[in-house]
């Protein structure tokens, strides 16, 4: 197939699953917000943010490197699959143990149970991501579609069941564990369509080499985990669970908006192949087309959302969440910048320059941490949205410098 046809096929399946999954999760979020209220919804998101800090141990950044390498040499797929599964089982067990030990510093037994349940649920997702990595590298996006859709349908059914039975946020997290395990079993069956076997292999040399190659991405993941969750944790510290609920209600609209990132996921394998082939002309043409169409589509849409922010928030969540409107508008603009900086970060990874993504995100994380720490207690949770917007802009700028002027500005790094 030509590059154009491959890109269209990839974009179609990933776009379809992104739209469907975001619609499902949008319905799930609205149901959670309205049923649990800002305080309990805030408690769930605080626990999720806490778990996310530890979850980086479960992958070590290996999946994206495997994606890139399998895209170039598909005959090595079985080797990567067997060793990734083995490594993630070991890392997952260590992650759960670490989370378990850490929960004993928390006084509330309910919080401890909620954190552990969310930890198991998200670890199942990490394991399932191994199969998504394989499907993506093979550019079998229809299998990615089936894998992700079964997961999100399970989440929807679990949410409906919990609310219908007047359950708590802990009941919700436990039901998520069950449905994610079922989705994982389905993924085990789908992988057989590529004539691959589910076997465990622990090639120490192979895993160490993969881990070394992925170490810049691990460092990036650590920084990104802090970057993505520090706002929620600091809002909880300074303002309490209820304000976390308001902020996360606004943030979930950004989450739905970020379905646009399916384009980045669709073109990453193709970028890796073109870089491997040293086909710069086609690569540059691909990037110009993606950036051009993205700007034409995103800027007007974001302006409309900004102007109608209060109407959007109150229509979705009710008038009690009106104060989340301004934060939501700022977060949407941060999402636009995030889209373009992920596109350029993926280009660096495709070129085996993933260490530069770490430096860029590190700069943004440190700025974001400082801004959040000093501004949230003074200006409220909207300051977290503003901090994210500024930080995303800085990361994008630094990433551009690494792409176009690496020797001039970053000599010796």
Q: What is the mean pLDDT of residues 372-394?
A: 93
Q: 277 pLDDT exceeds 90?
A: no
Tokens encoding 246 = 């308001």
Q: What is the mean pLDDT of residues 214-229?
A: 78
What pLDDT, on the 0 to 100 scale, is given for residue 106? 60
**Residue 199: which region, alpha, beta or left (left: phi > 0; alpha: psi -120 to 50)?**
beta
Give 332-382 pLDDT, tens digit per residue: 999 999 999 999 998 888 888 878 888 898 899 999 999 999 999 899 999
The pTM assigned to this predicted structure is 0.73
335: number of Cβ within 10 Å: 24
Domain ranges, ordered by start, for the chain = 3-409
- In whole angstroms, give the CA distance from residue 364 to residue 63: 23
Whether 32 and 98 have beta carbons less than 8 Å apart is answered as no
Whether 134 and 69 have beta carbons less than 8 Å apart is answered as no
- In whole angstroms, give the CA distance from residue 29 to residue 252: 7
- In whole angstroms, give the CA distance from residue 227 to residue 230: 6
Whether 31 and 295 have beta carbons less than 8 Å apart is answered as no
Q: 308 pLDDT exceeds 70?
A: yes
- In whole angstroms, give the CA distance from residue 367 to residue 275: 32
Q: What is the mean pLDDT of residues 308-322?
A: 90
Per-residue pLDDT band for 409 (boundaries 50, 70, 90) equals very low
What pLDDT, on the 0 to 100 scale, is given for residue 233? 86
The tokens 């409107």 sit on which residue? 325
């Amino acid at each position: 197939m030509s590059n154009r046809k491959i890109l269209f096929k990839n974009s179609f399946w990933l776009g379809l699953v992104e739209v469907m999954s975001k619609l499902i999760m949008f319905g799930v979020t609205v149901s959670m917000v309205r049923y649990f209220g800002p305080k309990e919804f805030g408690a769930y998101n605080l626990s999720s943010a806490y778990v996310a800090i530890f979850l980086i141990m479960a992958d070590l950044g290996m999946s994206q490197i495997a994606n890139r390498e399998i895209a170039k040499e598909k005959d090595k797929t079985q080797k990567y699959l067997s060793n990734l599964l083995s490594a993630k089982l070991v890392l997952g067990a260590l992650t759960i143990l670490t989370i378990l030990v850490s929960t004993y510093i928390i006084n509330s037994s309910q919080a401890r149970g909620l954190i552990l349940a969310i930890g198991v649920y998200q670890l199942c997702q990490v394991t399932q991501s191994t199969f998504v990595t394989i499907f993506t590298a093979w550019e079998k996006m229809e299998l990615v579609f089936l894998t992700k859709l079964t997961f999100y349908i399970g989440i929807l059914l679990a949410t409906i069941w919990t609310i219908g039975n007047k359950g708590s946020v802990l009941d919700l997290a436990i039901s998520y564990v069950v449905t994610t395990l079922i989705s994982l079993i389905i993924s085990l069956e789908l992988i057989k369509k590529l004539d691959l076997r589910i076997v465990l292999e622990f090639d120490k040399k192979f895993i160490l080499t993969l881990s070394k190659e992925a170490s810049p991405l691990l460092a990036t993941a650590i920084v990104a985990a802090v970057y993505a969750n520090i706002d929620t944790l600091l809002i909880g510290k300074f303002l309490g669970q209820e304000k976390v609920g308001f902020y996360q209600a606004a943030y979930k609209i950004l989450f739905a908006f970020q379905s646009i990132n399916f384009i980045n996921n669709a073109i990453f394998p193709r970028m890796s192949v073109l870089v491997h082939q040293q086909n710069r002309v086609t690569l540059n043409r691909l990037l110009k087309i993606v950036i051009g169409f993205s700007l034409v589509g995103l800027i007007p849409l974001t302006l409309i959302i900004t102007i109608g922010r209060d109407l959007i928030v109150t229509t979705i969540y009710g008038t009690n969440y009106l104060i989340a409107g301004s934060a939501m508008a700022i977060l949407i603009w941060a999402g636009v910048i995030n889209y373009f900086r992920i596109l350029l970060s993926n280009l660096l990874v495709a070129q085996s320059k993933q260490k530069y993504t770490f430096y860029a995100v590190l700069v943004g994380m440190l700025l974001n941490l400082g801004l959040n720490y000093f501004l949230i207690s003074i200006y409220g949770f909207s300051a977290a949205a503003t901090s994210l917007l500024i930080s995303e802009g800085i990361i994008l700028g630094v990433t551009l410098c690494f792409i176009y002027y690496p020797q001039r500005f970053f000599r010796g790094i």
